[in-house]
Chain A
Amino acid sequence: MKHTKSVWFNLVMAVLVVLLFVQCTPATPAAPAEPTKAPAPGEATKAPAPAEKVKIVYWSMFSEGEPLMKALDQATKDFMVEYPNIEVETKWAGRQVLTQLQSAIAAGTQVDIVDHSDDRVLNAIVKNGLALPMDKYLGEKAYDSDKTWGETFAPGVLDLGKYEGKSYLIPRDDYISAFFTNKAMLDAAGVTPKVSGMTWAEFNTLLETLKSKNPDVAVLGADGSVGFYNNWWFSYLAVRLAGKDAFRDAAYDKTGEKWGAPEFLKAAQMIRELQDKGYFQEGFEGSVWPAAQVKWVNGDVAMMFMGAWLPKEMSEQMPQDFKVGMFAFPDIDGGKGNQIVEHWSNAYGVLASTKNPDAVATYLKYIMSKKVGTAIANLFVPVPLEGVPVPPALANQYEILKTAQAMPARAGLNTEIPEYMDNVFNTCDDQFFTKQLSPEEFIGCLKTESKNYWAKK
């Protein structure tokens, strides 16, 4: 009997050990597919269709039924008619697409293209060495232009998808952050903000004028529940006052002491001053998205600082006669980082494991063509392609970009050190912006938590 027991025991243990061994042995990473040799300049005229039918798989950040999903779905169907040898299988995975991609990669599921905001795609696949550089294809002829594909993009926008000198991401829609106003309300108050280059003093005058002319209206709206929105205020002012490099240096400072520079405290004090003057709507600290935005379109809030997706996001709730104004974050006299604007995109990334890189590029060239770009822009989405109309509410986005220096979200820190930004910067800033910390305590929080964070690393 003892013998039988030990046989059973050994059998079960053997199964367990084998299972563990199989799982714990690191799988060999899939070798990146070798891109085909680049043609000489001018050689390529039209994207060639593959001789045999191939299938490419696109996992989308959009969910079934979203307007942009419908536009992309239609474009994909049209593409397959035009290129019958390329089948595009789409999965409308929604905003958690990259979470699903984690499992897909682990399971070896074929995924060729994913899309999301550039910082997410960069962190998910590019920084992990899983993405295919697109430089070769950007140098080829575009779908419906005589220019190279790369030349059809708005100046500078491809830089958003560069990593270590190579272009990985193909931006589909691009955004800046700016003030969005109820234009009619500002017109009625007799104020016309400069699109860019407004000084902080002028901005304060504008706020005071709006407040005196519309005592029942909050001049500024904010949904304090969204940390990503809250920390725009401090990061912009910190960059304006101290400069982009000083802001970045402070975040990377292992001692945390660089946050003690007077410019950062000044930036925090300027925000608190705006809050203390009652410019933000009452209870903004506990306002849950999209409550403040709804107030804005309902005329209870005059303006909001937000990403350029705002007009599109609120388009269904907007009264028909609602006019959107837009201007850049004000400059500060003597500031070291004036005329800088955050600029980012929702972008496509191609998995290096794709077996059909040429077909993928053909598909993306088609999607990022003037024809499809125009269909997307008609949904009030800004598309950074030459010749594609700009949604009227966002005309100033490109005006601002003409004069301002673009920087990625939070001076690039969201992409480079997202964990620091989430666990240190956002955590301290959230408490400050919602008035749980004074400006001095906020700076103290940044110093202490930065030191703790870097000590852990």
Chain B
Amino acid sequence: MVNLTLPVSYEDIKSQLSKNDRIAIITCNSCVRFSGTGGVEKMEEMASKLRRDGFIVTDEITFVAACLHNHVKNARISEGVTAVVVLACQAGWSSVKQRFRDENVICATKTAGLVVVDREKGVEKLMMPYRDFEELLGKEYHLLTGELQEKNVMDMEVEE
């Protein structure tokens, strides 16, 4: 299930929105929560920041897994949404874009690749990176915060 996502900066996201937009924020509650880039708290944080900066946020929606499209398709979302900020991986973003084809759907994360997780050690380790993130192969990230570990704690072999 678990992939690693890294955050897109708030300034980047804000620059893709207009003050006239009616914005829905959608978060997945699975992998992105592990990576510290999504989940209910991150969604609330994003909504508060946008509202403080004068944007209109009409909806905040959580999905267990945004890549399960029927959840996204059937969710009750306000009429007239013009922009959607998606705190999910690229697959979750695709799922949301399938519903909001004509709207501005912004991915608030960068999908780095697939990880193995060790909850006892509190880390996830990047095992299968996408091309742009190959230099991060074998790096470990703190679970729930996504903070890069200075020192690896999993004794897991990594295939170059």
Co-complex (A, B) = no
**Could you tell me which B residues sit within 8 Å of A by CB distance?**
none
**Could you tell me which A residues sit within 8 Å of B by CB distance?**
none
